Structure formats: C-alpha cells, structure tokens
Structure 1
Amino acid sequence: MRTRAAAMGWYGQLDATERRTFWACFAGFGLDSMDNSIYALVIPALIATLGLTRPEAGYLATAALVGAAAGGWGAGVAADRIGRIRVLQGTILWVALCTFGAAFATGFVPLALLRFGQGMGYGGEAAVGATLISEVVRPALRGRVASAVSSGYAVGYAGAVALFPIIASLFPQDLGWRVFFAIGLIPAAAVFLIRRFVPESGVYAESATAPRRAGGLDAVLRIFAPAYRRTTLVAATLSTGIFGGNYVMIIWLPTYLRTALGFTVATSAGYLAANIAGSLVGPLLYGQVADRVGRRPAFGAFLLLQALNVSLYVFAAPSLGPLIGLSFALGACQNALASGMTPTFAELFETSLRGNAQGFCLGGGRGFGSVMPTLVGLIAATAPLGTAMGVCALGAYAVAFVATLVLPETTGVELGSVVGRMGTRVSEPMDGDRGLDVRF
C-alpha cells in the first residue's frame, strides 16, 4: 500500500475527504472554465453574425471580468457567513444558467448582461473553491493540491475546444454559437456531486462555533483594517497583474490565430490544444516548485518566464514549429501563476475572513485586470492585434512582478492563523491558533 501511494505522488497521500474535495473543486473549476472558454472561441462568429466590433468584443470580455470581481467578493463574504459548500453549489449553478441564457441573446446589450452574470458566478466559484481546498488539505501538500485544482481549467478549455470544430461542422455559423452556449448548462451536474459527496470544511466548521465580531459592513470591510490593509492591497495588486496579463492572451489568442496569423478553425484548434496541454501541466509543476522553494520565488520565476513567452509569441514572428512550443509554454505559465494565488491568499488571512479576503483579492484582480482585454480591442483598432496584446500583457505582468517583491512568504503555515502588518506576528484567540510569523 505504501509503495502504491508513493507511486501516486501527492495524490496517494490524500485521505478520503481531501480526495473528494479535490475532485469536487476540480470539476467545478473545469466546468466553469468550459463555459468561460466558449466565449473566447465564438468571438469571430459574434463579430460576423451580430455585427459586433472588436472594441465591443473587448467590452463583453470585460463585463464578465467585472462581474467576477463583484461575484468573487460577494461569494467570499457569503462563504464566511453560511459555509463554503452551500455557496460553491450556488455559484456553479448560476454560471451554467447564465451561459445557457446567452444562447438566446440578440445583440450586444443582452450579451453584456449575461456575461456580467456569468462572471459573477465564475468569480464566486473560483474564490470559494480556492478557500475550501486550501482549508481541507494539510499544509505540507497544500501548494501542490490547491494548485492542481487549477488544472481543471485546462480540462474545461479542452472540452470547449474539442466541441468547437464539431459544432462548426454540424451547424451554420449563425446557429452554431448559440448551440455552443446552450451546452453551458452541463456544469449544473457538478452541483449534485458536491451536495452528495463533499463535507463542509472542518476549519470553517470549527471557526463558525466561535464568537463572531460585528457583522454587516464592518465585517465586510475588515480586510482593510490596519492589521490587514497592506497585505490585502499587495495580494490584490498581484492578482490584478496576473489576471490582466492572462486574460489578454486567453481572450484574444483564438482571434489572433484566426485573423492575425490567418489560421483556419482546424489549424487554430491544434495550437490551442498545445496551449491547453500547457495549462494542464503548469499548475502541477508550479505546486511542486512553490512547496519546495516558497511562494514568492515561484511567482517571480514564472512571471519572468511568461514575459519571455509573450514577447516571443507576438513580437518575434516564430515559425510554425516553435509556435507550438510557445503555445504550450504560454499555457503552462499562465495557469501556473493563476493556480499559485489559491494557496498563497488562503495562507495570508485567518479563517473568519478568509473567504472575504480570497474573494476580494481574486475577484478584485479579475475586475481591475478586466481593463486589459478592452484596452487590447481599443489599441487593435489602429495597431496590429499582436502588438496590442504584447504591450498590454507585458505591462500587466510587470505590475505583478513588483507586487511579488513585497509579498509575504507563508509556505507551510497552519490555516486559522492571522497575518497582520506585513512582517509582524499577531495572535488571534478567536480561531484558537498560533500567530503567524510572516517572513520575507
């Protein structure tokens, strides 16, 4: 038995509850990712059939990301009040319904409203799922397991890309994108899986029995109290830079391949497949690195690698062979960076406000980073699309790198602890845990 567990790596070390929670979060993340990826794939069809302009396509992407900011924070606050599992179920169902509704949209305004609603659900699911998996998994494995959940993004993206050419071959363009959106109802099935098999976080359950501080607005804004303010702002800035750069490439890459490089749907699918494969591998690699060398060094290294990938992809005009390798590396680094925020942000805050903080930092990053896809669309109206993508993505990753320089190092801490002002130790009797020594 021990040999078998060793052969399975970190997964073999998980107990039954950790495994069920991992697969529930993985499935929710993957199915929500499929719904989110559908939009990126149908942008050319929306432009052609609904008469959308490139700036309007960017606005639709931004609408979802602004929704994710609101939904992430709201869901995080709710998860601190009524539990992780209940909120996770609701957000997954909400994403599915909004994506299904987009199949019946008739123009820019209905699509924008539905994209905003979809973003609210997606941002909420990501924030609450990140909190849940981080609380359930033991510290020695947290970085690897919590990061691996983000590989579900690649599986969902792969599902969307695999379905895209099939739907394109079966339906005319003006109907195909509607069918594609209608398929988005599938994630609703994950709700039943979570309700039946996954228990509430033990860390949360213990915290919920302790006396609470004031509720209402004071509780929501507690992450901006002097003891947490700087940590909150640094984490949100890191998230803004990572998501801003990632969304530039995620939202515009299919269109770049089709319009700037002149690839067909089938050819584009091959390059997107390489990108997806990288997105699957990246979080697994990042988790191994971060658990061994620390969160901050891992962020710095992957940000530099991603900046190099983006520069070569959009400025160096590589031949088709190297472009496949760069597509893989691009996906690996972008999902590695996104996955690293899950355990890091969970380790920065105590249990009673962890969902709140995780929701704000992840959701705020999506919201503030959402200007980047729109900015690409505006710049691309007068400049090459590749240039617009490169400038916006590199600028965003530079912001993230600066935040990394002042990020606390929290690898291996027990959750329930409190991070106070960066670099200090603060005890928190409410959770019954020791204070956290934040190291640089």
Structure 2
Amino acid sequence: MILERLEALPVGSFHYKLLLVTGLGWLFDSMDTGLIAFVLPVLTKDWGLTPAQAGWIGSIGLIGMALGAVLAGTVADRIGRKKVFTITVLLYSISTGLCALSWSYESLLVFRFLVGFGLGGELPVAATLMSEYAPSHLRGRFIVLLESFWGVGWLVAACIAYLLIPRFGWQIAFVIGTIPALYVFLIRLHMPESVRYLISHGRINDAKDIILELERKLHVESRPFAKELSEAEREQPNAAATSFTTLWTKPFRTRTIMLWLAWFGIVFSYYGIFMWLPSIVFAQGFAVVKTFEYVLIMTLAQLPGYYAAAWLVDVIGRKYTLSLFLLMSGICSFFFGNAASASSLLAWGAAMSFFNLGAWGVIYTYTPEQYPTTIRALGSGWAAGFGRIGGMIAPMLVGMMLANAFGMSTIFLMFASVFVIISAVVLTLGKESKQKTLEELEEAYEN
C-alpha cells in the first residue's frame, strides 16, 4: 500500500525540488572535475611538474572515484541514501578546500584522492535516490535531466578558469570548490530518505510518515494507512543478507556483465578523449582548440544531447537509446579523428559531445533499474567503480600511443571501436526497463 501511494503521487514541486537538490550535487561534482583540468596546466608551470607528475594528479582522483563508488554504494544499502549522499558531499567539499592549502605535490595528491573518493561515492547514490522517487512513467527522463547538470558544471568550471584563475591564481578555483559544503544544509532540509530503502529495512512507520508528508505537500487527499502491508512490501528481503556475490547470482549475472562492460567502455572513451583532446588536436595543427570558444562549443553541445536522451528513454526505451547513442558516439569519434579542417573538427567534436554525454545520462538511468532495492546502490556503485578502471587506463594508453607516434586518426579509431563494441553488448545483453515500476522490474529479475 505504501509503494502504491508513492507511485500514485502526481509529479509536482517535491519531484522538481529533489531533482534540483541532487542535480546541484552533480553540478558541483562536474565543476570540481572540470576545474582540475583547467588548473593542471597552471600548476604544472608554477610547480615545475614533469608530465608524469601532472598525469598522476589527474589519475589519483579517478582511483579515488573508483573506490568511492564501490564503498559508498555498499554503505548506502546499509545506512541509507541520504546519509551517504550528505557524507560524500562534505568529504569532497572539504578536501577541495584543502587542495588550495597544498604545500607540496604529495599533499595535493592526498587531497585529490579524497576529492575523487567523495565524487565517486556521491554520483551513483544520487542516481539511486532519484530513481526510487521518480514516477515510473517519467523515471528515465528525471535521471537523464539529473545527469544534464554535469554539462552545466563544466560551463561553470570553464568560466571560473577563464575569468578568475588568471587574476587570483589557481588556488581560487579550489576555494570556490568548498561552496558545496554549505549545500549540505539544503540536503538536510529538502531531501527525504528513500521510502523503498526504509521499507527494505523494516522502518515502515518512517516510510508512512514520508508518504503522508508528500501527499500534504502535493495537495493529494490523504487517508490513514491500513495496518496490513501489501505483498510486495512484506516480501522485501533483508538488506543485511546481501553482498557483492549477490551481483553474480543467476538473476543478476547477465545484467552485471552487461553493465560492467558498458561502464568500462563509456568511461574509458570519455576520459581518454576529453582529458587528451586539446593536446591531441593541437598537435595536429588545429590551434582553435586552445580557445575558450572551442571549450564552450564542445560543452554546450552536451546539453541538447542530454535533453534528446531524456525524451527518447521514455519513448523507445533505455536499452535502445543507450545503444543508439553509443553507436553514434563511435561514428562521430571516427570522423572527428579524420577531420581535415577546423570547421569539420568543431562539427564532429560537437556531435561527439552530444551523443557521448547523452549516453552518460542514459546509463545513469539504466543502471539502478537493473537491481532490486536491497542491492540497488551496491550494484550501481560496483558498475561505476569498475568503469573507473577504464578511466585510469585510457589516459595512460593515449600517452603511450602519442609517445610511439600514433596519429590522431588511429587513436580515435580505437575509441570508435570501443563505442561500437559496447553498443552491441547493450543491445545483445540488455533488458528493457521503460514504463515499469521498480517493483514490476523486481518481479522480472527471476526470469
């Protein structure tokens, strides 16, 4: 009865406020990730860092993100989504501020690891929480819109880099990165715990109180709850009995393989392309990539990509939208790598950004839907964490290829191939989940 009333709630101010609160967390995450990309060249010059040392500053954050995604996802299924979301936001905010006080290269590495840990932990937990509150017929749209805040965060980072760092130094970027610590108060005020999480842990009265409060806020005629729970609520398993091995039992094995491969491929390609993008194409003689306008065009192209994906996930489905966007990312990557002029470089670069970031939005929608409530954050965290391994490998691999005189066309052929392969994996192994409640999906896990 509780879950039926949750699903029956009309879309209103609560859902949009939750989207904004979780989306701001996404924006701050993206802003921090973008800032280190813009700070690194300045820091390398000021501290006289070698290319290897500069590379480690970028890589250490990805290592932290991998561990954060895995551990935060596991903990969120045990102590709650809201608590873990709050803790990870605080961790990356405070650690970002400490980066501004770094007194040595080694101290900066420690702080960047902590920043990455917080970032990696926050993202899958936020997506899980949003997916457990969004109504089934609009769940995909809400999660992709949540992911679209990432593009806005990159725009904010670019503006900080070009407007403030030249005047105030690289430290100002990290000082601004502490602002999300204040945002924790918004989380405490406006973000309830997941009703599905509360039911799975036997906290039925707390779940009922949240539903009654939401019905009041959304002007829904409320009524007392029946003492008897519905069958779906009675059969909620105990979360304490779940573990990593649960992801590899028969109902979930194929889903886990599909998600891990998809996450690995998309993270591998994203970080391999975008961390090296300016260096690769500038080396080919395209000076335009050093301009602020180029960064702006590439970033702005992300936003319509998110919105197109947000519409398609509830029309043709998650599986087919994700597969399509991955395939188109591969095609655009190939032509980008073979661009012969600055105009074609910008056109294919914008198209690549459009489809690549649209795919990111869909995979954050698709992943939590593949697991039941008791292992949803665990499964999402492990998939994202495994994907981060791709993010660690790709930048180093591109560096080795450049050192061995591989050209831009060869490097982007590699990324295009990865996109095509994971598109086929999703199309072959993926299960469609559009327009279904999370409980209906849970009933299908046994099939």
Provide TM-score, normalisation by structure 2: 0.83
Give, as a single letter, the amino acid of the residue that structure 2 aligns with 1:230: T
Aligned to 2:106: 109
- The question of 1:66 aligning with 2:63 is answered yes
Aligned to 2:216: none
Q: Does the CA contact (< 8 Å) of 1:279 and 1:335 recur in 2?
A: yes
CA distance in 2: counterparts of 1:193 and 1:45, whole angstroms: 34
SS in 1 for 2:243: helix
2:148 to 122, 146, 151: 151
Q: Does the CA contact (< 8 Å) of 1:312 and 1:318 recur in 2?
A: no
2:44 to 43, 47, 55: 47
Q: Does the CA contact (< 8 Å) of 1:413 and 1:436 recur in 2?
A: no
Q: Does the CA contact (< 8 Å) of 1:17 and 1:199 recur in 2?
A: no
CA distance in 2: counterparts of 1:184 and 1:28, whole angstroms: 12
Aligned to 1:390: 412
1:299 to 311, 322, 334: 322
CA distance in 2: counterparts of 1:273 and 1:381, whole angstroms: 29
Structure 2 unaligned residues grouped into runs of 5+: 1-9, 203-233
Q: How far did residue 380 of structure 1 move?
A: 2.3
CA distance in 1: counterparts of 2:268 and 2:176, whole angstroms: 27
Q: Does the CA contact (< 8 Å) of 1:103 and 1:182 recur in 2?
A: yes
Give, as a single letter, the amino acid of the residue that structure 2 aligns with 1:191: V
Aligned to 2:264: 240
- The question of 1:224 aligning with 2:248 is answered yes
Q: How far did residue 106 of structure 1 move?
A: 4.7
Q: How far did residue 135 of structure 1 move?
A: 0.8
> In terms of mean alpha carbon deviation, does 293-302 or 133-142 score higher?
293-302
Q: Deviations over 1:110-143 (max 9, x none)?
A: 3333222222111111110110111110111111
Aligned to 2:197: 204
Inter-CA distance 264–402: structure 2 relative to 1 (3 Å threshold): closer
Aligned to 1:86: 83
Aligned to 1:288: 311
Aligned to 2:180: 187
Inter-CA distance 57–261: structure 2 relative to 1 (3 Å threshold): farther
Q: How far did residue 241 of structure 1 move?
A: 0.4
Inter-CA distance 343–264: structure 2 relative to 1 (3 Å threshold): closer
Q: Deviations over 1:327-379 (max 9, x none)?
A: 32222212111111122111111001101001111122123332111212232
Q: Does the CA contact (< 8 Å) of 2:322 and 2:363 recur in 1?
A: no
* 1:13-412 aligned within 5 A: 14-171=11-168, 176-209=169-202, 213=238, 215=240, 219-256=243-280, 261=285, 263=287, 268-319=291-342, 321-383=343-405, 386=408, 389-404=411-426, 405-412=428-435
Q: How far did residue 324 of structure 1 move?
A: 3.2
SS in 2 for 1:408: coil
CA distance in 1: counterparts of 2:399 and 2:309, whole angstroms: 31
CA distance in 2: counterparts of 1:415 and 1:378, whole angstroms: 44
Give, as a single letter, the amino acid of the residue that structure 1 aligns with 2:378: N
> In terms of mean alpha carbon deviation, does 404-413 or 355-364 score higher?
404-413
Q: How far did residue 413 of structure 1 move?
A: 2.1
Q: How far did residue 270 of structure 1 move?
A: 0.8
Q: How far did residue 169 of structure 1 move?
A: 3.2
Q: Does the CA contact (< 8 Å) of 1:59 and 1:374 recur in 2?
A: no
Please list every run of at least 4 consecutive aligned residues from structure 1 whose deviation after the TM superposition is greater than 6 angstroms. Answer: none
Q: How far did residue 182 of structure 1 move?
A: 2.4
SS in 1 for 2:314: helix
- Aligned-pair identity in percent equals 27
> In terms of mean alpha carbon deviation, does 396-405 or 104-113 score higher?
104-113
SS in 1 for 2:250: coil
Q: Does the CA contact (< 8 Å) of 2:256 and 2:383 recur in 1?
A: yes
Inter-CA distance 227–144: structure 2 relative to 1 (3 Å threshold): same
Inter-CA distance 283–87: structure 2 relative to 1 (3 Å threshold): same
CA distance in 2: counterparts of 1:214 and 1:137, whole angstroms: 22
Aligned to 1:426: none
> In terms of mean alpha carbon deviation, does 99-108 or 24-33 score higher?
99-108
Q: CA RMSD in A?
A: 2.5
CA distance in 1: counterparts of 2:403 and 2:388, whole angstroms: 24
Inter-CA distance 100–135: structure 2 relative to 1 (3 Å threshold): same
CA distance in 2: counterparts of 1:54 and 1:391, whole angstroms: 25
Q: Deviations over 1:250-281 (max 9, x none)?
A: 3223444666546489x521111111112222
CA distance in 2: counterparts of 1:221 and 1:66, whole angstroms: 23
Inter-CA distance 156–64: structure 2 relative to 1 (3 Å threshold): same
Q: How far did residue 408 of structure 1 move?
A: 1.6
Provide TM-score, normalisation by structure 1: 0.84
> In terms of mean alpha carbon deviation, does 378-387 or 138-147 score higher?
378-387
Aligned residues: 405
